[in-house]
């Protein structure tokens, strides 16, 4: 469901996407093959370590066999109440993460799952066109209900974004960090990566006009820098000074800020808090933190409630710029479906508005490149991030063009902010 302005935007975006798909992006196939070889070797080691806990060989892709190993042979205590139709407890990622402290086999299984996924993705990245020698992903600009892009063959929206800490020794994390290094510009060019900073929280701020969120984006700290919205949230929720907020408290506040956008419940927040702190958090404790948040950030609460009310009345949610999403779940007779509809009613206008803005930015940057008769190209779009392949002699003009265009493509009540980096592979430029 779209109004004419959104239809016009999608039409203009289509031309940008067509060029992006046709141009493709260069892949360092040699590094890709080396990483694939190391991933396979690492996976073989994982399988040997896992099999050491079994008397017989086990098919790690078989949920019933994993159920038997974990909950019968090793006698782990499940963290869910119900079994599936096959009479087995779930062995999916979310359940395994809850069991991680019960036995050393669990982190090995989680690593195995991730490694298999990385191996498959590594294979897909080698499917470069034999003529262009570049990888040409397929981007669907209406691939999600909120208007965000989806991508296939391969799904370039799921490229790992891992930055190594000094002295990192975890082999899997090291291998995962190499994926963005595989994306390289052609000879004589560099990448410019432009990333909207906290765009969805900025959209919430604009929509809600919450005084504390507005303060975060319009006030400077003692060093003349903008306040950190997550640190400010933590100081308000925990009733402590901004300067006294710990990294753990900031992480909790970040989980709250982003979680509420997606309609996270107290149950979901309790799981996030447990993961962040390494200590068990009950649903009641999570609810207390959420209540404290909404008391202080009352503008956000009012905004989210109004989004549900409007969607319930109209039968659809709507972004700032008029993109509509039908939400029939709100009229369901089932409580679980109505609650799911409420989460969609809160999230869709926020995520959809961010999707509208990134499309406007893509169109505007493409127009400016044409006006200035530049050879630079937009080669990838990943969520709130644009990746440009830029000739060396155009780097200066493109850095200014991209940042100014993206930050001024729309006017919200608070400024948009774009982080800009450059480099000879995507990892360096992000």
What CATH number is given to the structural domain containing 67? 1.20.1060.10
104 shares its domain with 228: no
209 shares its domain with 320: yes
What CATH number is given to the structural domain containing 271? 1.10.150.20
Closest C-alpha to 306, from 349, 264, 338: 349
233 shares its domain with 104: no
234 shares its domain with 121: no
Q: How much is the mean pLDDT over the chain?
A: 90
Q: What is the CA radius of gyration of the chain?
A: 24
227 shares its domain with 101: no
Is 389 a residue whose pLDDT tops 60?
Answer: yes
State which of 85, 107, 132 marks the end of a domain.
132
128 shares its domain with 205: no
212 shares its domain with 335: yes
Looking at the structure of the chain, the number of domains it has is: 2
Q: Is residue 251 part of a domain?
A: yes
Of 80-94, 133-147, 250-264, 332-346, which has the strongest mean pLDDT? Answer: 332-346
Could you give the C-alpha distances from 307 to 263, 267, 347, in angstroms and in order? Answer: 12, 22, 9
Name residues whose C-beta falls within 8 Å of residue 147's C-beta, 6 or more positions apart in sequence: 141, 319, 323, 352, 355, 356, 359
How sure is the predictor about 45, in pLDDT bands with cuts at 50, 70 and 90?
very high
Name residues whose C-beta falls within 8 Å of residue 31's C-beta, 6 or more positions apart in sequence: 178, 181, 182
How sure is the predictor about 2, in pLDDT bands with cuts at 50, 70 and 90?
low
123 shares its domain with 253: no
- Domain range enclosing 36: 26-132
Q: Taking residues 7-18, what's their average pLDDT?
A: 94
Q: Taking residues 25-44, what's their average pLDDT?
A: 96
CA atoms of 352 and 331, how far apart (whole Å): 22
pLDDT per residue as tens digits for the range 231-253: 988 898 888 888 899 988 898 88
The per-residue pLDDT for 1 is 53
Q: Taking residues 255-272, what's their average pLDDT?
A: 83
225 shares its domain with 334: yes
CA atoms of 372 and 128, how far apart (whole Å): 31
217 shares its domain with 124: no
Q: Is residue 210 part of a domain?
A: yes
């Amino acid at each position: 469901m779209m109004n004419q302005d959104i239809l016009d935007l999608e039409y203009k975006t289509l031309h940008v996407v067509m060029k992006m798909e046709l141009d493709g992006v260069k892949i360092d196939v040699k590094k890709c093959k080396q990483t694939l070889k190391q991933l396979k070797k690492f996976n073989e080691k994982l399988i040997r370590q896992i099999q050491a806990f079994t008397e017989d060989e086990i098919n790690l892709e078989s949920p019933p066999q994993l159920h038997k190993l974990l909950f019968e042979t090793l006698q782990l205590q499940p963290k869910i109440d119900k079994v599936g139709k096959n009479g087995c407890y779930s062995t999916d990622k979310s359940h395994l993460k809850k069991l991680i402290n019960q036995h050393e086999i669990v982190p090995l299984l989680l690593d195995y799952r991730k490694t298999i996924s990385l191996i498959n993705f590594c294979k897909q990245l080698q499917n470069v066109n034999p003529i262009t020698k570049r990888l040409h992903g397929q981007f669907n600009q209406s691939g999600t209900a909120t208007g965000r892009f989806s991508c296939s063959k391969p799904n370039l929206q799921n490229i790992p974004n891992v930055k190594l800490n000094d002295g990192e020794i975890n082999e899997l994390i090291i291998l995962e960090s190499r994926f963005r290094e595989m994306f390289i510009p052609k000879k004589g060019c560099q990448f410019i990566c432009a990333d909207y900073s906290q765009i969805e929280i900025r959209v919430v701020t604009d929509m809600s006009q919450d005084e504390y969120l507005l303060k975060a984006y319009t006030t400077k700290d003692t060093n003349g820098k903008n306040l950190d919205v997550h640190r400010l949230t933590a100081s308000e929720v925990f009733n402590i000074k901004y300067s006294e907020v710990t990294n753990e408290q900031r992480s909790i506040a970040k989980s709250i800020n982003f979680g509420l956008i997606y309609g996270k419940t107290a149950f979901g927040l309790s799981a996030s808090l447990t993961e962040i702190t390494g200590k068990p958090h009950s649903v009641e404790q999570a609810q207390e933190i959420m209540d404290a948040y909404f008391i202080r950030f009352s503008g956000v609460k009012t905004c989210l409630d109004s989004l549900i009310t409007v969607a319930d009345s109209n039968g659809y949610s709507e972004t700032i710029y008029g993109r509509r999403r039908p939400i029939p779940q709100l009229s369901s007779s089932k409580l679980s479906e109505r609650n799911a509809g409420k989460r969609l009613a809160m999230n869709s206008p926020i995520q959809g508005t961010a999707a509208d803005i990134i499309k406007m930015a893509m169109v505007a940057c493409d127009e400016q490149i044409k006006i200035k008769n530049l050879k630079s190209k937009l080669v990838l779009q990943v969520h709130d991030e644009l990746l440009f392949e830029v000739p060396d002699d155009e780097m200066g003009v493109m850095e200014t063009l991209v940042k100014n265009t993206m930050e001024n493509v729309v006017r919200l009540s608070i400024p948009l902010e774009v982080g800009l980096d450059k480099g000879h592979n995507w990892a360096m430029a992000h």
